[in-house]
Structure 1
């Protein structure tokens, strides 16, 4: 729980009393490589704190082609946030790319405590704001930057990811083919 407390306080400090209440809601689980935290079509109920491992968020288009929307690595909040808020089926699956250690809590139980613990409610807002800004940044990168620059940003953000997960997931995240990714990597390594 220490990692969770540190993570939370870096976003929006909460009191020890609030954390003790919150900590009671979280339970540890193990997610094996390729297992899903949440699937497409499920009604999400849990939010998680990824202590260790890598999880990808992805969706399939009508032709069945996968698009990786996001990677989550150690010390991240995961969960099907849109489904949690709207109470509608999830559209973006989250799958472990490595074995993962996760602390999970029922999202409704956290929300029920917002009126009693205002610092917890503020934390929820700050996390939502963070992910909104991250989403907008990714959209701008996809629209305004070429694949080479997007690749360099990915390497800066996740320096070890290429040694851990398959290249086709990285290519999907960048919006390019695995062949294009190979060309970019070759070009950058020779310059």
Structure 2
């Protein structure tokens, strides 16, 4: 409960009653590296709060190339929100890049709770705002920044990520090739 309390303070200060109601929906789970939280074509039901580890959301293009959309590190929310809201199959795969510990929550149960309690509704809204801002920022980075600047931003957001996940995941997230990433890293380190 303390972990969730600290998480919630990043968005909206909840009363003890609301914290308790939401906590009843949460289950602490651990998943091994390479575990798929959401598979391609699966109708997801859960959202996750990442306590430890790294998760990525990616898709596979028509040529079979993986394209990483988002990298999640603690303490971020994860889950295919679009598929959850529209109740449709996921077009993304959510994969644990390391062993992960998460708080798992059934999205529909949380949504229903937010409809019943104004304070929880505001909390839900604040989380959605943060997700929107995070995604908009990623789109703008891809449009405005060059690859070196995107790599620098990644290093600032996730210090030491190079030592935690495969370089091709980082390259895919930055929308560059592994060869380009190697060159950037060489110049960045020197």
User: If the length of structure 2 is used for normalisation, what is the TM-score?
Assistant: 0.97
Alpha-carbon separation, structure 2, partners of 1:139 and 1:131: 12
Between Structure 1 and Structure 2, how many residues are aligned?
A: 190
Alpha-carbon separation, structure 1, partners of 2:155 and 2:59: 22
Unaligned runs of 5+ in 2: none
Q: 1:161 aligned to 2:161?
A: yes
Alpha-carbon separation, structure 2, partners of 1:74 and 1:137: 18
Residue in structure 1 matched with residue 180 of structure 2 by the alignment: 180
Q: Shift of the alpha carbon at 1:74? A: 1.5
Unaligned runs of 5+ in 1: none
Is the partner of 1:63 in helix, strand or coil?
coil
The C-alpha deviation readout for 1:63-103, integer Å capped at 9, x for no partner, is 11111111111111111101110001111111000001111
Alpha-carbon separation, structure 2, partners of 1:110 and 1:50: 17
User: If the length of structure 1 is used for normalisation, what is the TM-score?
Assistant: 0.97
Residue in structure 1 matched with residue 130 of structure 2 by the alignment: 130
Residue in structure 2 matched with residue 51 of structure 1 by the alignment: 51
Residue in structure 2 matched with residue 83 of structure 1 by the alignment: 83
CA contact 1:3–1:75 (8 Å) conserved in 2 = no
Q: Shift of the alpha carbon at 1:116? A: 2.4
Q: Shift of the alpha carbon at 1:115? A: 2.8
Residue in structure 1 matched with residue 24 of structure 2 by the alignment: 24
